[in-house]
A and B are shown apart, each in its own frame.
Chain A
Amino acid sequence: MRYVIAAVLVLLVAVVETSVLPSFRVLGVHANLMLVLLLSWAMVRGMEEAMVVVPMGGLALGLMDGQLLGAAMLALIPLVLLTEIREARIIEGEFLLAVLLILLSTLAYEVIILIILRVTGETVQWWGILSRVVVPAAIVNALLVPPVYGLLWLGSRDLRRPRPL
């Protein structure tokens, strides 16, 4: 059942991301709600579920965006790898770690998309991409973490409640 809910959610987010979000630009970019949702999912619901939901998200986005199918899925892989940092306990506090990870995930996402564009024959203007796209996108995505993470956290109370032995 949880994966059905996840599938519906990622499809809805893909629809919103290709229709509503491009109209709302902050710092010259728009938010990557799918990335924020999947990272929050991995942080709140755990790696096991993230390993199923992240490819779902990549597929949903790829089916609706204008790029090659598989590009978004490939760009989302580092998100799961970065979430493993949580096990290292570098930062105390899940929320702060989520903010740090969204900054890194955004960087990885945008760079992988650019590499795919380059490999498929498009010209990529590497100069200026960091200040014009990657850094603003990371900040905008970080601003979205509190509401998305908070909603998922509230919606997952049953999961966090200790189970009887």
Chain B
Amino acid sequence: MSSRTGVWTLAVMALAVFLLALSRANLLGPLQNVVLTIFSPLQNALTRVSEPAADFVSDIRRTDELSDENQALRAENERLNAEVARLRENETRLQQLSQLLQVKEAHPDEQFLAANVFAREPSNVKEMVAIDRGKRDGVREGMVVVTEGGSLVGSITRVYDDYAWVILITDPNSAVSAMIQESRAQGVVSGSYSRRLTMEFLLQAAAVNEGDMVLTSGIGGAFPPGLVIGRVSAVESSRQEIFKDVTVEPLASLSRLETVLVLTSFTPLQLQGP
């Protein structure tokens, strides 16, 4: 290495570390907010324009898979229609019971803030999206983000004045306390570098089947209980292992997010160690 390259390396390294320190102390938020204000319309337009092309490329690679998926979705649709009818009936009964018992709701109504997704994290080791809502809209770090359909997307990880970054549940660093709806067995849903969700810490004795719904359990206080995460797509058991190997298919289409909802009425708990 020449001396010129050596000096350059030290200088750029010092600058990068300096910027990292300032960024870690949240001192560069206003600068990044200005840059995103300038470029977000272009990012948004490019994202929208590229999606049909990306879908086309993806569809070519997945023709057979899509045919199977279509059949499965038809069956799923039929089953869901039946379930909706059953749930409507349950809801009516629940409303009647609530009125009878005059139960005052323990929690205020949930409040949502709609936001557009305009950019995605370019690194292959992180799964994040940028939304066009920030501190000025009441968004705070840790707030929960869901789809318009109400299934879990992730949580706010960095907030600027007008923008925020959402860490997706498929991020390798994401961990959500979860439970199987049918058996109430509890575990933790984690992301991975392959963008697959796995449910960990489910004992071999736990009743888990393919197709079971996975919901947030609320343990830890980072996510409210009862939000839909996904559906169990594979279960592997082994006598030699303590825990089951469970794969979860997220219900939200996390690679094609356009609009999301920030749950502003839920304040995540910041638990401290003993």
Q: Interface residue count for A (Cβ, 8 Å)?
A: 56
Contact mask for chain A residues 18-40; partner B; CB cutoff 8 A; 1 contact, 0 none: 11111111001110101000000
A122/B173 in contact, CB under 8 A: yes
Question: Which has the most chain A C-beta neighbours within 10 Å: B15, B16, B22, B54?
Answer: B16
Q: Residue A128 contacts which of B43, B173, B193 (CB distance < 8 angstroms)?
A: B193
In Å, the complex CA distance between A65 and B118 comes to 12
Say yes or no: is A64 at the interface (Cβ < 8 Å to chain B).
Answer: yes
Given A55-B12, A70-B23: A17 touches B122 (CB 8 Å cut-off): yes
Interface centre among A19, A70, A71, A116, by most chain B C-beta atoms within 10 angstroms, is A19
When distances are taken between beta carbons in the complex, the residues of chain B under 8 Å from A101 are none
Residues from 46 to 63 in A contacting B, C-beta threshold 8 Å: 47, 51, 54-55, 58-59, 61-63
Residues in chain A near residue B194, CB distance under 8 A: 28, 128, 132
In the complex, chain A residues whose CB is within 8 Å of the CB of B17:
70, 74
- With both chains docked as a complex, state the minimum distance between the C-beta of A98 and any C-beta of chain B, in angstroms: 18
Bound-complex Cα distance A76 to B159 (A): 25
Q: Is A137 an interface residue (CB 8 A)?
A: yes
Contacts of A62 in B (CB 8 A): 19, 23
Q: Which residues on the B side are within 8 Å of A91 (C-beta)?
A: none
B39 touches A47 (CB 8 A): no
Mask: chain A, 111-145; 1 = CB below 8 Å from B; 0 = not = 00110110010111100110011000100000000
Q: Is the CB of A30 within 8 A of B122?
A: yes
Give the interface size bracket for B toward A: 35 or more
CB-nearest residue of chain A relative to B175?
A123
Q: In the complex, are the beta carbons of B42 and A66 less than 8 A apart? A: no
B46–A20 CB distance below 8 A: yes
Instruction: Give me 15 other A-B pairs in contact (C-beta within 8 A), A32-B122, A63-B32 excluded.
Output: A19-B43, A19-B46, A23-B47, A58-B16, A62-B23, A65-B122, A69-B20, A73-B12, A74-B16, A74-B17, A77-B9, A114-B125, A117-B125, A129-B193, A133-B124
| Chain A interface residues (CB < 8 Å from chain B) | 11, 14-25, 28-30, 32, 34, 47, 51, 54-55, 58-59, 61-71, 73-74, 77, 80-81, 84, 110, 113-114, 116-117, 120, 122-125, 128-129, 132-133, 137
